[in-house]
Amino acid sequence: MPLADRVLKLTESETLKMAKMARELKEKGHDVISLSLGEPDFDTPKHIKKAAKDALNHGVTKYTPVSGSLELRKAIVEKFKKENNLIFDPSQIVVSNGAKQSIYNLCMSILNPDDECIILAPYWVSYAEIVKMADGIPVYVSAGIDQDFKPTASAIEKAITPKTKMLLFSSPCNPTGSVFSKRELNAIANVLAKYPDIYIVSDEIYEYINFTGKHFSIGSIDKVRQQTITVNGFSKGYSMTGWRIGYIGAPKEVAAACEKIQGQVTSGASSFGQIAAAFALTYSNRATDLMRKEFKKRRDLVIDLLSKIKGVKVNHPEGAFYVFPDISYYFGKSDGKNTIRNADDFCDYIMLNAYVGIVSGSAFGDNNCFRLSYAASESQLKEAIDRISKALEKLK
């Protein structure tokens, strides 16, 4: 029987595809090192887990308001004010089952059929697919490795049309690790301020994994405050991926629309998880700081090792836990059996010959690159890159 058109036009997640391939190879007895998933390898800090356990023991097991418990929304308001210079009240906060649902709610609330959403590329794999689910049209504005993968304000302005309804981007960025500076975000704000009917959606889920010393939110710029929606959550900075707690700060009418959408899809996030999330925001960030320092050490290690491999071009990402090397040097090369025509072939070759799981840049809007997550131990990273290097030596 036929399926809905919306399903047929969606693309399979490349990250999940590589994870599946890794599992199948492991089942056949191969020692696979998977560097394909965007998940911190640290456990959730003990004080956050204890807060959830205490909540369960005190009977916090019932529904919360769709938009989230008042306690958590107040904590988010204070976090935004103290750390991001963003001014909201609790009615402008919507807590969801992860930042991914937050972005889904936004697209469903804002985009009409054939509305355009400008997506800065490279981009997180789900952005384009969520826009398509909302019957919107993704419009990509791209930048390559020589531009540190950061599209310019002038390039963004050239992509704006009467159909443009939204700009969507992340900083720090998944998949590149690039961080937009205050100067760069001000330039983008100068452009978007001329178009007050275009919403700016800033995904800041990697805020705490930022090696520049200070995160800057575009929503703190006065001229675009009223049109900016800030997305964040607990998955990355607090290593709470499985907890599924994300949130937005948005204009009241947008927040109300997202609450309406969510009320018909999932209702609120888990009640005891929200208690733990509120505690995370009000407790010391020492555990998060330690994770960030460890990620920075790994980044430096990975960049050093990859830069020694002939033909691999690496920039210097300032956030998240990814590198996004350009490997177009290897296109057209062969080991006698396999010819590398593009990044997809490259990643399949590495998986099947080095047993290392990485993700093709085609999934993120750049066919010359691959994404490697360094959310793994130093020993795993060294072994994985050594295997990659030896496999590439066979290509002529």
* Burial call 177-214: b when 16+ CB within 10 Å, e when fewer: bbbbeeebbbbbbebbbeeeebbbbbbbbbbbbbbeee
For residue 120, is it within any domain? yes
Strands 137-142 and 116-121: parallel
One domain for residues 109 and 247:
yes
One domain for residues 82 and 222:
yes
For residue 50, is it within any domain? no
Judge contact between 372 and 323, C-beta under 8 A: yes
For residue 352, is it within any domain? yes
Predicted local confidence at residue 17, as pLDDT = 80
Instruction: State mean pLDDT over 43-72.
Output: 98
Instruction: State mean pLDDT over 31-56.
Output: 96
Give the amino acid at 379. S
For residue 87, is it within any domain? yes
Other CB atoms closer than 10 Å to residue 393's CB: what's the count? 11
One domain for residues 319 and 366:
yes
For residue 53, is it within any domain? no
CA atoms within 13 A on the CB side of 368: 16
For residue 17, is it within any domain? yes
One domain for residues 291 and 273:
no
Predicted local confidence at residue 13, as pLDDT = 75
Per-residue pLDDT reduced to its tens digit, 196-221: 999 999 999 999 999 999 999 999 99
Predicted local confidence at residue 253, as pLDDT = 98
Domain's final residue, options 217, 248, 282: 282
Whole-number Å distance between alpha carbons of 102 and 235: 13
One domain for residues 272 and 334:
no
Residues 6+ apart with CB under 8 A from 345: 338, 339
3-state class of 113 per DSSP?
Answer: coil
Residue 149 has pLDDT above 80, yes or no: yes
For residue 241, is it within any domain? yes
Per-residue pLDDT reduced to its tens digit, 59-113: 999 999 999 999 999 999 999 999 999 999 999 999 999 999 999 999 999 999 9
Whole-number Å distance between alpha carbons of 104 and 354: 36
**pLDDT over 90 percentage in the chain:** 94
One domain for residues 227 and 315:
no
Predicted local confidence at residue 15, as pLDDT = 78
One domain for residues 124 and 12:
no
Domain's final residue, options 282, 302, 317: 282
Instruction: State mean pLDDT over 148-164.
Output: 98
| Nearest alpha-carbon partner for 277 in 67, 15, 58, 71 | 71
CA dihedral 218, 230, 363, 184 (to 10 degrees): 0
Burial class (CB in 10 A: 0-12, 13-18, 19+), 219: buried
Q: Tell me how many domains the chain contains.
A: 2
Other CB atoms closer than 10 Å to residue 141's CB: what's the count? 20
Q: In this structure, what CATH number is given to the domain that contains residue 196?
A: 3.40.640.10
Work out the mean pLDDT of the chain and round it to a whole number: 96
| Nearest alpha-carbon partner for 163 in 140, 142, 137 | 137
Whole-number Å distance between alpha carbons of 23 and 19: 6
One domain for residues 275 and 292:
no
Strands 246-249 and 33-34: unpaired
**pLDDT over 70 percentage in the chain:** 100
Other CB atoms closer than 10 Å to residue 220's CB: what's the count? 18
Predicted local confidence at residue 128, as pLDDT = 96
Predicted local confidence at residue 12, as pLDDT = 75
Instruction: State mean pLDDT over 129-139.
Output: 96
Predicted local confidence at residue 9, as pLDDT = 82
More confident call, 105 vs 11: 105
Residue 224 has pLDDT above 90, yes or no: yes
One domain for residues 191 and 68:
yes
Residue 7 has pLDDT above 90, yes or no: no
Residue 335 has pLDDT above 80, yes or no: yes
Judge contact between 318 and 177, C-beta under 8 A: yes
Predicted local confidence at residue 389, as pLDDT = 98
* Burial call 241-252: b when 16+ CB within 10 Å, e when fewer: bebbbbbbbbbe
Helix, strand, coil tally for the chain in percent (to 5): 45, 15, 40
One domain for residues 312 and 226:
no
Judge contact between 170 and 124, C-beta under 8 A: yes
Q: 229 lies in which domain range?
A: 58-282
| Nearest alpha-carbon partner for 167 in 107, 83, 222, 113 | 107
Pull the structure tokens for residue 127: 């952005």
Domain's final residue, options 282, 309, 331: 282
Residue 367 has pLDDT above 90, yes or no: yes
Return the residue matching tokens 């209702």.
267
Q: In this structure, what CATH number is given to the domain that contains residue 346?
A: 3.90.1150.10
One domain for residues 205 and 151:
yes
| pLDDT band of 18, cuts 50, 70, 90 | confident
One domain for residues 194 and 232:
yes
For residue 101, is it within any domain? yes
